[in-house]
Amino acid sequence: MLRVFNLQRSLEFYIGALGMQMLRRQDYPSGRFTLVFLGYGDEDSDTVLELTHNWDQQEPYAQGAAYGHIALAVNDIYATCGELAEAGVKISRSPGPMKHSPTLIAFIEDPDGYKIELIGRK
């Protein structure tokens, strides 16, 4: 689960740029928050990312030292990064070999600054 400051901007990123599908959304007016579940397939068999939007949050969230990153496998890391850069996504580490490994990785950031590692499939 990620807490997001601007839900619409986050949905544009995860659905538009990363190609996830909105699996379900629930607004909780009495609690003043929204939960959105996103993924690449049916949530009964695939991993799901939950976004939480607290309606009254006045400033972006501090991520803290415990958060590392989300990792997604991609077929062509160079083409994927090129498409994401064209769409305005921040590439914080260009594609290239991982330290001590030939595995190709890159890092991007979502609108809230959460790091997402892209890992090239072999």
d(Cα 74, Cα 35) in Å, to the nearest integer? 26
Residue 53 in marked binding region: no
Region of residue 64 (left: phi > 0; alpha: psi -120 to 50; beta: else): left
Catalytic residues: 117
Residue 12 in marked binding region: no
Residue 69 in marked binding region: yes
Backbone angles phi, psi at 17, to 5 degrees: -80, -40
As given in the structure block, the two tokens for residue 95 are 């594609």
Binding residues for Zn(2+): 50, 69, 117
Binding residues: 50, 69, 117
